[in-house]
Amino acid sequence: MQYYLSKDALQTLLSRADISRLDKLLLILFFDNEVPKTLSRIKELGSSNGLRECIKWNISDILSKSQGKATSIKSEWSLTAPGRSYLVTQKLITERKTQLHKDVADLRSHLTAISNPQTKSFLEEAISCLEADLNRAAVVYSWIGAVAVLYDEVVNKHLTTFNAEAVRRDSKWKNAKTTDDLSRMKEQEFLNILESISLVGKNVKLELQQCLQLRNACGHPNTLKIGERKVAAHIEVLILNLFTKF
């Protein structure tokens, strides 16, 4: 049986006052696929996820008194099998959905090809939502990031051509100068113009239109239910056709 701990779950647990210092350190050791961690890495993970006070803790002393739940080998601490069982018993980690884990890993593998830190941040947040079973939020966040990427591409490289096509289609269109100006246009029409100026191909536009429909459905109150595979496919389309291209 496999277990997992998302970044959001880790941050929530580390912020709880009813969880001991030892338990929080064991959670940090479990996080990131139970990779062995140095004291500096443990402090870094704790601090970056809201547990800033751990910098002042005597971490070696706390873990050495864990009664076999953690062990140190060559200056790196690792969670032991009894430690993992303890976290399960305390219900601090939950059973991993094997396919979801694979989907998340596949999506994260694409992040290395994205150089823009803001773009990468949007995607990381969307993937974290997927990992935390926040499916509708994952769809919305990933689409917002995708539109932001397209807006930047138009403003930085294709603004004159875009405005000319927009005016040809609608004589009342006021030439855009910034990304905020582009947001005045409905996203459906925005995609149509991107195809017209050859910024995206016809088939890519059709895929993006489906992503937009899903985003609209997820962004408004309704009874729609979607599964993790649908969300993973949605994010993958955006990664392959937008995030790694522009």
Question: Tell me: the pLDDT tens digits for 192-235?
Answer: 999 999 999 999 999 999 999 999 999 998 998 888 889 889 99
Lowest-confidence pick of 1-10, 113-122, 137-146: 1-10
Strand 76-79 and strand 70-73: the pairing is: antiparallel
Which residues, including other chains, have CB under 8 Å from residue 121's CB and lie 6 or more apart? none
pLDDT of residue 1: 53
Lowest-confidence pick of 23-32, 100-109, 127-136, 233-242: 100-109
Residue 37, beta-bridge partner list: 77
pLDDT of residue 95: 62
3-95 shares its CATH topology with 98-243? no
CA angle 130, 131, 133 (to 5 degrees): 65
- Report which of residues 105 and 197 the model is more confident about: 197
Buried (b) or exposed (e) across 72-82, using 16+ Cβ within 10 A? eeeeebbbbee
Q: Is the pLDDT of residue 82 over 90?
A: yes
- Mean pLDDT, the chain, rounded, equals 90
In this structure, which topology does domain 98-243 adopt according to CATH? Four Helix Bundle (Hemerythrin (Met), subunit A) (1.20.120)
Q: Residue 162 and residue 158: Cα distance in Å, rounded? A: 6
Enumerate the domain spans of the chain: 3-95, 98-243
Widest distance between CA atoms in the chain: 75
- The continuous run of DSSP H or E covering 238 comes out as helix 228-238
Answer yes or no: pTM beyond 0.75. no
> Tens digits of per-residue pLDDT, 29-62?
999 878 899 999 999 999 999 999 999 999 999 9
Which position has the token pair 């490289």? 157
pLDDT of residue 32: 83
Residue 44 has φ and ψ, to the nearest 5°, of -65, -45
Long-range contacts of 177-180 (CB under 8 A, 24+ apart): 179/148, 179/151, 179/152, 179/155
Four-residue CA torsion sign, 114, 120, 124, 130: negative
CATH of domain 3-95: 1.10.10
